[in-house]
Structure 1
């Protein structure tokens, strides 16, 4: 069971890193939203032991925080 979680967490983390490499043409606010969502998903997965609800909830909260942090300058 722990092996499956470890592989899943590694795959999610790798997908986030690959997805962030496509952020070069994005606005600062869009990039911060994407980074926040990725970090939130990872944090939610870790804190809830890999539950889908925790991962999605973390992504939503992280995306909102990233969007607000990346507000107008």
Structure 2
């Protein structure tokens, strides 16, 4: 079990590094939209108890707010 957890942690860490590297060429507005969508998804999931509809709705609202904030 210990070995599986280490492999999983390593794979997740590598995936996060690649995802962050993909954001390097984005505009400020694009970054704000992505951050807003992520925060909105987490907020929606927390407020609705993990419902898929709440997560997707939160991501949509957060993305719009993040996009508009950077204008």
On whether the aligned pair clears a TM of 0.5, the verdict is: yes
- Are 1:52 and 2:52 an aligned pair? yes
Structure 1's consecutive aligned runs of 4 or more residues displaced over 4 angstroms after TM superposition are none
Q: Which has the larger radius of gyration?
A: 2
> TM-score, with normalisation over the residues of structure 2?
0.71
**Aligned position for 1:32:** 32
Structure 2 spans left out of the alignment, 5+ residues: 1-11
- Tell me the matched-pair count: 56
In structure 2, C-alpha distance between the alignment counterparts of 1:37 and 1:56, rounded to whole Å? 9
**Aligned position for 2:41:** 41
Root-mean-square deviation (CA, aligned residues, Å) is: 2.0
Structure 1 spans left out of the alignment, 5+ residues: 1-13
> TM-score, with normalisation over the residues of structure 1?
0.69
